[in-house]
Homo-oligomer: A and B are copies of this chain.
């Protein structure tokens, strides 16, 4: 029994016409595979439910998850009806019916186990099983949601549990591009990308796939494909590093405008001070990304610059201002008009000069670098937000990514 998992996001099931289009995509596959379809809620539905929850001012709990998961219940049943009308025998299943067992962390639950018995029984009886994404049942028997974008993770986890041949993630883009095609029309679609590169891409704001789903696919070697539910074309295949025959030095340029910079000036230059600052933040679940420490002019105090997610900068500033005496700093400022720009590529590991080229390109364009962070396959710089387009376009050109279209 060859199994294919197909996942469609909210915009792909936005209304009945779009759901009918999804049904015809499935129609092309179900004769060659036993198909498991994973769906999100119809676009807009989850946002509206979230508004109700916000109005009550309630957070991650069994109650909020009961509300927020109701959208998928509608979309899976509607698709199943439309498939049955086409004589493609179909059955919808909710998280608790499979069951997809999660921990009790409501609002961001982790999948612990997927029992395959019921779903296998269904695959014998039906051509297509339509599974509600984003949801599971917790250890204490309550509905749990996997967090925003969790349907990707549902799809990958089901592909693993059912040993699927492939997991196709249908979105509103045609695949992963070397640069955002909305910004630079010389963008090229990447045929194959390693999980690691994709992880850097998706955590950096090329929000095509939920990060957890890519991590899960990588750990379990899932053949994961990103493709369009609108245009019928080949997408981007995610593969193991070893399967990439020719490793591009740079596969793509990514950016994020969701970070804010915090600078603490006049911090005593003594051991343990970083631990104090970042301890305060981590205790409050605030993630810090890029960190730069400079000795200040007087030689005895330092400046500390780092970035946090923009939606957490208010809380972070508040916590740090309350801890002024404890940290013993002179002043603190924050700035949200920044952007993080990154070049990503597996080949970077074995190639020198990549960072140098990046810094030179930015300098040539008179773009000041506010902070730098690097990993084995990524270099990120923080710049003023207004230079974002200029920076990524010139980098895209400099790394000769766009030339490939011509060759």
Interface residues of A (CB under 8 A from B): 16, 49, 52-53, 55-58, 61-64, 66-67, 69-71, 73-74, 76-78, 80-82, 84-85, 91-92, 94, 96-97, 141-143
Q: Is the CB of B74 within 8 A of A58?
A: no
Q: Is the CB of B78 within 8 A of A73?
A: no
Chain B residues in 8 Å Cβ range of A92: 62-63, 66
Q: Is the CB of A85 within 8 A of B70?
A: no
Chain B residues in 8 Å Cβ range of A73: 66-67, 69-70, 73
Given A56-B16, A82-B56: A63 in contact with B49 (beta carbons within 8 A): no
Q: Is the CB of B96 within 8 A of A81?
A: no
Chain B residues in 8 Å Cβ range of A71: 70
Residue from B58, B70, B97, B142 in contact with A81 in the complex, judged by beta carbons closer than 8 Å = B58
Chain B residues in 8 Å Cβ range of A62: 77, 91-92
Chain B residues in 8 Å Cβ range of A49: 74
Q: Closest CB of chain B to A63's CB: distance in Å?
A: 4
**CA gap between A141 and B80 in the complex, in Å:** 17
Chain B residues in 8 Å Cβ range of A52: 16, 74, 78
Chain B residues in 8 Å Cβ range of A76: 66
How many copies of the shown chain assemble into the complex?
Answer: 2
Give the secondary structure class of A's interface: helix
**CA gap between A96 and B143 in the complex, in Å:** 11
Residue from B53, B61, B64, B85 in contact with A56 in the complex, judged by beta carbons closer than 8 Å = B85
Q: Which of A57, A62, A74, A91 neighbours the largest number of chain B CB atoms within 10 Å of its CB?
A: A74
Chain B residues in 8 Å Cβ range of A142: 97
**CA gap between A52 and B142 in the complex, in Å:** 28
Chain B residues in 8 Å Cβ range of A64: 77, 81
Residue from B74, B80, B91, B97 in contact with A70 in the complex, judged by beta carbons closer than 8 Å = B74
A-B CB contact pairs (8 Å), 20 listed: A16-B52, A16-B56, A52-B78, A53-B78, A56-B78, A56-B82, A56-B85, A57-B85, A61-B81, A62-B77, A62-B91, A63-B78, A63-B84, A64-B77, A66-B73, A66-B76, A67-B78, A94-B143, A96-B96, A97-B141
Q: Closest CB of chain B to A99's CB: distance in Å?
A: 11
Residue from B57, B66, B82 in contact with A77 in the complex, judged by beta carbons closer than 8 Å = B66
Closest residue of B by beta carbon distance from A59: B81
**CA gap between A74 and B50 in the complex, in Å:** 11
**CA gap between A64 and B57 in the complex, in Å:** 32
Chain B residues in 8 Å Cβ range of A58: 81, 85
Chain B residues in 8 Å Cβ range of A74: 49, 52, 66-67, 70
Q: Closest CB of chain B to A31's CB: distance in Å?
A: 22
**CA gap between A333 and B263 in the complex, in Å:** 86
**CA gap between A82 and B67 in the complex, in Å:** 13
**CA gap between A163 and B61 in the complex, in Å:** 31
Q: Closest CB of chain B to A404's CB: distance in Å?
A: 45
Chain B residues in 8 Å Cβ range of A141: 97
Q: Which of A55, A56, A69, A91 neighbours the largest number of chain B CB atoms within 10 Å of its CB?
A: A56
Closest 4 interchain pairs by CB? A66-B77, A63-B77, A70-B70, A70-B73
